Amino acid sequence: MPSYRAPKIAAAEITPERFFLDRRTFIAAAAGSLALSATKPSRAAALEASKSIYRVDEPATPEKDATTYNNFYEFGTGKGDPAANSANFKPAPWTVKVDGLVGKPREFGLEELLAFPLEERIYRMRCVEAWSMVIPWVGFPLAALLDRVEPLGSAKYVAFETVVRPEEMPGQSGYFQPLEWPYREGLRLDEARHPLTILSVGLYGKTLPNQNGAPIRLVIPWKYGFKGIKSIVRISLTETPPPCTWNLAGPNEYGFYANVNPAVDHPRWSQATENRIGEGGFFGANRRDTLPFNGYAEEVANLYAGMDLRVNF
Ligand code: MTE
């Protein structure tokens, strides 16, 4: 068991986000009342919908599915391998080194990371393999951490690395090595600073289980799941696009951007629909349409204005 205190989400800790949403609603309502009659009923519906960006209005995936059906190749390539093979992984003590093009490079200890103001956010998640989940994450905006290290004007990208520990991660020590280690990911700085991008330290009100990327992992709800790098030990700000594990492994199949896009198929399968894990029927009637940017287009589409998303997939 990790020795640090589990960030159990008490009602009091969720409240600040409610305040945030209420404030947002209040501001939007104030702005709207200038243009619209304050009594128009459609206004209330529109404001209600704006909340779903942070707490999507769909049932959460059963916790059992979210913690036993995983991708974490450091523990094996099967969906059940991360839960089955990660018991000996030690997520504490832990440090994340933040360096590169920043004014104040430094390391953050786990206690310090857990001291960022945590929020619960219910995000729709979409894996490149055409399955999806709805997960109540606990975390804080990556931007809050970046602010502390003061990115330089020359910083354009953010690179992330997972820990390398073959003695605790059987997928890194076996005869068959499916990927090059460390697992790496990257974002453009504006994507990294977007308010929807969080570092997660928990789910379902509990500390992050090893198989989900303990003690800290990235969550970017409008991108395919492979961008959500787990068990992060290093974050570096760079001037050029950093190497990314799946992009290196299959550049024609996994792009740098990896924005969820039902109109751009994977070379070997369609991305138009998805199977919501926990609802049953992989090929059956329960398949649902995949949404552009995974349903977060209103928030993030402007980050890609003028870009050809078929080329920058
Ligand atoms: N991070 C590391 N270090 N290693 C991995 O194999 N798999 C990615 C991503 N982060 C992976 C990783 C993929 S493909 C997905 S879909 C998500 O983690 C899965 O996250 P989850 O198991 O918490 O649902």
Provide residues with CB under 6 Å of ligand 1.
Answer: 70-74, 127, 162, 183, 212-213, 225-226, 228-231
Give the pLDDT score at 48.
Answer: 43
pLDDT tens digit sequence for 99-143? 999 999 999 999 999 999 999 999 999 999 999 999 999 999 999
19-28, 40-49, 230-239, 300-309 — which is least confidently predicted? 19-28
Judge whether residue 82 has pLDDT over 90.
yes
Q: Which of 63, 64, 68, 71 to mutate to test the pocket of ligand 1 (most atoms within 8 A of CB)?
A: 71
Note the pTM of the prediction, 2 decimals: 0.85
Distance of CA 10 to the CA centre of its chain: 22
Alpha helices in the chain (DSSP H): 11-35, 41-51, 63-66, 81-85, 110-114, 142-149, 189-192, 245-249, 297-300
Domains assigned to the chain: 54-304 (3.90.420.10)
Closest ligand 1 atom to 82 CA: 22
Cβ atoms of 4 and 114 closer than 8 Å: yes
Give the pLDDT score at 279.
Answer: 86
SS3 193: coil
Judge whether residue 11 has pLDDT over 90.
no
Give the pLDDT score at 212.
Answer: 98
Judge whether residue 262 has pLDDT over 50.
yes
Q: Which of 69, 70, 72 to mutate to test the pocket of ligand 1 (most atoms within 8 A of CB)?
A: 72
C-alpha to C-alpha distances, 238 to 71, 99, 153, 245, nearest whole angstrom = 27, 9, 11, 17
C-alpha to C-alpha distances, 89 to 8, 179, 181, nearest whole angstrom = 21, 19, 16
Give the pLDDT score at 280.
Answer: 73
Closest ligand 1 atom to 185 CA: 1
Task: Name the residue at shortest CA distance from atom 14 of ligand 1.
Answer: 226
Judge whether residue 282 has pLDDT over 50.
yes
Maximum CA pair distance of the chain?
A: 68
Count the Cβ atoms, other than its own, within 10 Å of residue 84: 13
Cα separation, 28 vs 33, in Å, equals: 8
